[in-house]
Amino acid sequence: MKTEAVERVAPFSIALDELVNRHPRMRFARLPTQIHRLNRLSEKLDCSIYCKRDDLTGFGLGGNKIRKLEYLIREAVDGGAEAIVTCGSNQSNWCRTTAVTAAAADLDVHLVLGGGTPDALTGNLILNARVGAHMHHLETDSDPELEAASEELTKRLNDDGIRAHRILMGGSNGLGTLGYADAFREILSFERNEGIGFSKIVVSTGSGGTQAGLVAGQVLSGWQGTIIGMAASRDTDAQERKVRTVLRRFDRFAGMRIAQSPLVTDGSYVGDGYRRRTEACEEAIDMFAKSEGIFLDQVYTGKAAAGLIDYARNGRFRADENILFIHTGGTVQLFE
């Protein structure tokens, strides 16, 4: 279904272009990622749904994190780093993508992983080991404790004469946020070229950087739609605070005032918490696989799709509007 694309005010688009292009990156991803209509799913849900395939970014099994790491790894290399240190859960997509991009840049990588020492390597852990990552397993699942351990490890490496560069979990700092500001440019380009205007964008939100980058792109371009962040692990208010924290980092980095912009998050589809399966998530995974041949994971995209489907069924999308679902990757989680 085509709707008239909203006209963009040139100065806003120029501001977004200048911000993204001002900062160098190390190219890993195959961009832009494709956007296509999900015809069968749209028919089932009686609305017009498109998908941006960031599961197909084309490096290290794809996913959204690669966009952030193009900037973050370049910053580390330019700063003379010899090693990267970051943290996440045992099956963190972020840590896997960091390991792969660091290896490609000839950097050593240390991953501080929560959740205890596994009995065997599975899923992302196998891939981390394949590219030579040093994995440091901790019993804690606490994000602040993992960040503190990551900071301590960075200090220890530097004290030992290894130039170590620490990156926050999820790459959700000011520079990393540029990755999805750039992705928003791709969405605007698709709208202009195809004459298809999106009224809502639905995306999984966890550490906050992906949604924050999209919001930055929205504000700088003057786009009039709504970005809905479906939380992977937190309630609605907690997730909003998380994203606003990242936006404040972005404001300090870029000299902007975006942190108090309108923000929509929804924690209704988290279930019992992070990595906990829900019936709605399982149904969404099945629907996408059987209708479109697209595989979602049970941690992030499955829960975001559960929200998308529930919104459609409950009349929160009009039949005459185009909805964009961003597939942020994470397919490796299916093999855990």
Write out the catalytic residue numbers: 92
Which residue, among 65, 58, 70, has the nearest Cα to 31 in the 3D structure? 58
Amino acid at 80: G
CB atoms within 10 A of CB 315: 10
- Rounded to whole angstroms, the Cα distance separating 212 from 63 reads 17
DSSP 65: H
Backbone angles phi, psi at 290, to 5 degrees: -80, -30
Strand, helix or coil at 287? helix
Q: Tell me which residue has tokens 């972020």.
A: 94
Report yes or no: 234 and 270 within 8 Å, Cβ to Cβ.
yes
- Rounded to whole angstroms, the Cα distance separating 6 from 96 reads 38
- Rounded to whole angstroms, the Cα distance separating 175 from 70 reads 10
CB atoms within 10 A of CB 147: 16
Strand, helix or coil at 32? coil
Report yes or no: 52 and 326 within 8 Å, Cβ to Cβ.
yes
Amino acid at 232: A
DSSP strand pairing (48-53 vs 35-37): antiparallel
Q: Which residues contact 41 (CB under 8 A, 6 or more apart)?
A: 49, 287, 288, 291, 292
CA distance readout (Å), 133 to 13, 95, 120, 321: 39, 9, 16, 45
